[in-house]
Structure 1
């Protein structure tokens, strides 16, 4: 996914177009109950090396530069990315048909490092009653595409029932072609900041479909 930033910044005629600044390898663990209903989602974010370095330096952690945090440093780092503004969806969208599944804010945040990269986890609860996980669509994306999420870490299900996970990766070439075609329709003086900047994040998102038998 990181090559996409180079394409968007160097190869398109409109530098104001949103492009990734942060890259996150993402993993999901769906927690279901005995009735095959979704109750929680555990989210894992592994930040790119450069962003990790910036955060660690800003927080004055890993002063010896070995990429390994002490227990006290991990405690200080935990929750640094869990201070969400009101209305932020955590860049995670779960749909049941045409309806959005409401999720809580981040719970039980934890953080560590792996190979000098910050890796964090947080838990999100389904608000209200658990929802049937018979046909759920899940995507992790920032619609502005400031952050690029790649579903490269494990996607699993925990619970007493056996569920099916299907993955559909985006057609990168087709989406880039559509973006190029759109940009070619614009005048060179077109101001993307003052007009509608294309929200392309979802177009480059992997879709996970979860199906659990109802009991």
Structure 2
């Protein structure tokens, strides 16, 4: 029985590692460039502010794909009743929250070249929809320091640096502004791989032969430049 529980624990770790963007054991040793998505997320982000134009928080709303959702149920169904009860859903949320902390919760905010530090989420809510056959993850993050959106444009994006998890924002409506001034303008950006490759090549062409080119560890940081993003300007 203990051996069975050990095997089950190992399976849980691998399932959560998938959400965390880690490689499964069968993919160990694969490079980031060779990796491709194995977990798919239908994503939404709420950008919450106040009437003075300050960023209060962002809320991520993720529908996980059916295959991943189905794989989680047997590992967390402690009472073996074929579904995830409220305490079991809380256990899923606790484990996922701990695991994806290493990856900054896949959530990145920046103004210009500077990243905006975010606090870890508080509650990590998980529900299961039998009709959809999917798990829904919802969590809120607040900036560590005040962010005045009326003074600087801010970029919001969600992506996995290892390419293991794919986050889909199919249209501009997936980035929802709440309680922000009416003057705020948003630009929905879906990068083109060819255009971004050309832009990167153009940038390194400016360096002399004796200069060190600041190349990301994967050659080109496509995980970032290819991420769908929202550029918000309330100036």
User: Given the two structures, how large is their TM-score scaled by the length of structure 1?
Assistant: 0.70
Give the total of aligned pairs: 181
Corresponding residue for 2:26?
none
What secondary structure is seen at the aligned counterpart in 2 of 1:82? helix
Provide, for residues 65-106 of structure 1, a one-character-per-residue CA deviation record: whole Å limited to 9, x for no partner. Answer: 5xx754444334333321146653111211111211110112
Greater CA deviation, 20-29 or 200-209? 200-209
Corresponding residue for 2:17?
none
What secondary structure is seen at the aligned counterpart in 2 of 1:201? helix
**Aligned partners of 2:79, 2:224: CA distance in 1, in Å?**
35
Q: Structure 2: which 5+ runs fail to align?
A: 1-30, 199-216
Corresponding residue for 1:75?
90
Greater relative contact order (Cα < 8 A, sep 6+): 1
Q: 1:154 aligns with which of 141, 158, 174?
A: 174
On the 8 A contact 1:37/1:212 being kept in 2, the answer is no
Corresponding residue for 2:128?
113
Q: 2:190 aligns with which of 157, 163, 169?
A: 169
Please tell me the root mean square deviation across aligned C-alpha atoms, in Å.
3.1
Q: 2:44 aligns with which of 24, 27, 32?
A: 27
* Greater helix proportion: 2
In the TM superposition, what is the alpha-carbon distance from 1:34 to its structure 2 partner?
2.3
On the 8 A contact 2:76/2:88 being kept in 1, the answer is no
User: Given the two structures, how large is their TM-score scaled by the length of structure 2?
Assistant: 0.65
User: What does residue range 42-61 of structure 1 map to in structure 2 within 5 Å?
Assistant: 42-60=59-77
* Residues 95 and 112 of structure 1: CA distance in aligned 2, closer, same or farther (over 3 Å): same
Q: Structure 1: which 5+ runs fail to align?
A: 1-13, 178-195
